Amino acid sequence: MTPASTQRYARVLSIAGSDSGGGAGIQADLKTFAALGCYGMTAITALTAQNTLGVSGIHGVPPDFLKAQIQAVVEDIGVDAVKLGMLHAPEVVEVVAWAIDRYQLKNVVLDPVMVATSGDRLIAAETVQVLVRELFPRALVVTPNLDEAALLIGRPIGGIEALDAAADGLLALGAKGVLLKGGHLPGDEVVDVLLQANGERTRLASRRIASRNLHGTGCTLSSAIAAHLALGAALPEAVEQARAYVLGAMAAGADVKVGAGHGPLNHGFAPVPTHRLPS
């Protein structure tokens, strides 16, 4: 039997905001990490007063304390992959960029959280430019939805036929890889586009799942990608496996009522034991 001292867990750090309603943000990330057999950790960027109806308040964490959280986790436990979520201010973005460089963090998945499902704006306008400049080149993949992508490239994305050009525009902003999510487009099929810096382009399509419970879908997808990267998957495989997990969580939670608005996915629909890896 292998001694415990020679094993470790697959470790994933979420640097993101807290959703008091439990459906998105670090709460969704931790549920996803656990369901996929990873050890989850957090560095909280902001607290939100939030439920299924929307966001009623945001309280930012001081950048120095965010830095202290990251240092505490990385220097003791270590990190195999990172999910970046709500980064609401330029100083917060700069701390994250510092940490990626200082600790040579790998497998960074950037979900550029700008607008909640409810329509609430979650990021200051002046932060967008800093986010693109500092984090797009440092992330392995960026995972915007259509609204976020349109804001980033400065033009609307009118249909499935416009996804490829939009992904090209996002890659031109300095990203190493882009997963452009097409879920906000109408139709019975959801099409996402994965574009990597080497020119490899993959279209991923699935039948739309009818559900009111879609809160936290983007957070869950990006954290699932990070989890599979931590487990050793290459990016295309991690994206495919993460999409499959999200579709399963959506289907499993579609008929459940949580709150009066947009409820969460069923993150725990098929949990697996925490994976052990060689240390």
CA pair distance 122, 112, nearest whole angstrom: 10
The string of pLDDT tens digits covering residues 95-141 is 999 999 999 999 999 999 886 555 566 677 788 999 999 999 999 99
Helix axes 125-135, 146-153, angle to 10 degrees: 90
pLDDT score, position 243: 98
Among residues 1, 5, 12, the alpha carbon closest in space to that of 231 is found at 12
DSSP labels, 90-104: HHHHHHHHHHHHHTT
Residue 40 per-residue DSSP state: E
E strand spans, the chain? 7-9, 11-19, 39-51, 54-60, 81-84, 108-110, 141-142, 177-181, 189-196, 201-207, 276-278
The pTM of this model reads 0.96
Mean pLDDT to the nearest integer, 157-178: 93
Cβ distance 17 to 47 under 8 Å? yes
Domains and CATH numbers, the chain: 9-255 (3.40.1190.20)
Give the chain's mean pLDDT. 94
Tens of pLDDT, residue by residue over 18-75, are 999 999 999 999 999 999 999 999 999 999 999 999 889 999 999 999 999 999 999 9
Residue 224's Cβ-count burial label (10 Å; 0-12, 13-18, 19+) is buried
